[in-house]
Structure 1
């Protein structure tokens, strides 16, 4: 389905009935990443998946897509569907978008799950990496994406899930250079959302992979001590929907039903 928004189209899917679950994909992903999870969740719930700005079949609105701008696009879809309350699950960048949505629309959030994601902002080293990657994207996009995408998987997962990795990479490579740069810049500029998450009056869960080099698990766990933010650890890397599929399905179902 398509929604016209700021002279572009936003692509989304809408299936099932019941309380609403909104699934937000990560960087260089699309609504297709949720293909295994949606049929299970939509048996009891209404499930909405949205292609974020510059990804999938959703267009770009500039060369910087802040997390707030992406959250506004998500909100436009939810308003169009007359959704007033929802469980929000965001993978990686989708988690940052979910936090930006929670900051501006806390009353909308029934529960929030950061999947292979964090409330922390980029540190200086990560920001510098994004600047270099954006420069490389202009001249050598395929090599950049191929190299960085494989690193999202735990080393042994690259062989064990080679077909799934290859399929996900093909989708990632369909992202436009503009979409890549705009999202990367938005992530580089994002704020630390810890206080937003801490004060959110809803059920909160962070899912992390123990072999995920992107997330500093020990630092994250130390910060959520004495809060009502829960953390679930999986055995592999950044791509839990592929590397820890059964554990993810069980955990998400438990999270939604609480």
Structure 2
């Protein structure tokens, strides 16, 4: 188990050394997930280069550090790990909330990024309606976080995939149930107040890859289609999946991320 000190606690990460001819691929999981979401995918990618997987604050084996885990605080946590691992530059890929953190990192440390990847994620901020939903979600978590998790995880999957992927859904539920109420609420509040960072894609200063799901109900595809036309986006992949394409359409995601990473 790899742990490093951060603020008043510890951060957990997994490091897979590999062929140094390619710059490392740093992976950030989404809300209610942890670095284990990348286990199968990272084994395939690791045959081509080094891979670093980080448990973001309040998730997995990383501690919680505040009542609100802003995307900037989480980006600071990412930087603490990459500094500890002595990675001067790397490719950064984030799933959903991990993409929000990756964008915050790009704003804080653009010089360290070879590329930025948004994996079923968005650069847009929460709408007012979405912010209200976040507050309601935080209340539900505080009332009964087990029920919240059991209801939330299946909603991340396209409904046509529920029967075929019941084992994967149950596995994710069980992993998410390991989280504390404090960690879940801190992430919800941090996502609620995150900034719109569409300008990072529009500036063209950082090369961006976008991996979108045609049936994604969390990050609507029609919206992703529009903002992914920004000048800085130089790689696009549309999966015939929902939000959890890395599970339901795993091989396609492995191949496309690999092309994006190694093709830079």
TM-score (norm 2): 0.95
For 2:11 and 2:45, how far apart are their aligned partners in 1?
22
State whether structure 2 residue 191 is matched by structure 1 residue 217.
Answer: no
Please give the root-mean-square deviation of Cα atoms over the aligned residues, in Å. Answer: 1.1
1:193 is matched with 197
Measured in 2, the distance between the counterparts of 1:10 and 1:111 equals 24
Residue of structure 2 in register with 1:181 after alignment: 185
Q: Which residue of 1 aligns with 2:262?
A: 257
> Aligned partners of 2:118 and 2:236: how far apart in 1?
9
User: Does structure 1 conserve the Cα–Cα contact (< 8 Å) formed by 2:96 and 2:120?
Assistant: yes
Question: Partners of 1:64 and 1:218 in 2: how far apart?
Answer: 30
Q: Does 1:124 align with 2:141?
A: no
Helix, strand or coil at the partner of 1:62: coil
**Equivalent pairs, count:** 258
Deviation, structure 1 residue 243? 1.0
Partner of 2:148: 144
Q: Which residue of 2 aligns with 1:4?
A: 5
Separation in structure 2 between the aligned mates of residue 197 and residue 226 of structure 1, nearest angstrom: 6
Q: Aligned pair in 2 of structure 1 residues 203, 196: CA closer, same or farther (>3 Å)?
A: closer
Could you list the structure 1 runs, at least 4 aligned residues long, displaced by more than 4 angstroms after superposition. Answer: none
Question: After the TM superposition, which residues 79-158 of structure 1 pair with which residues of structure 2 at under 5 Å, given as runs?
Answer: 79-158=83-162
Q: State how far apart, in whole Å, the 2-side matches of 1:147 and 1:92 are.
A: 18
SS at match of 1:44: coil
Please give the alpha-carbon distance, in whole angstroms, between the structure 2 residues aligned to 1:45 and 1:200.
Answer: 26
> What TM-score do the two structures reach when normalised by structure 1?
0.97
Q: Please, which runs of 5 or more residues in structure 2 have no aligned partner?
A: none
Q: Deviations over 1:16-52 (max 9, x none)?
A: 2222110000001111100111111112211110000
What are the ranges of 5 or more consecutive residues in structure 1 without an aligned counterpart? none
- Equivalents in 2 of 1:15, 1:226: separation in Å? 33
**In 2 relative to 1, CA 176–200 (structure 1 residues): closer, same or farther, beyond 3 Å?**
farther
Question: In the aligned structure 2, how far is the partner of 1:200 from the partner of 1:52?
Answer: 27
SS of the aligned residue for 1:231 comes to strand
Q: Give the C-alpha shift of residue 226 in structure 1.
A: 5.3
Q: Deviations over 1:109-150 (max 9, x none)?
A: 101110010001011111101101101111111111111111
Partner of residue 212, structure 2: 208
Cα-to-partner distance string for 1:45-93 (whole Å, 9 max, x where unaligned): 1111000000000001111000000000000011111111001010000
Q: Quick one: distance in 1 between partners of 2:51 and 2:226?
A: 33
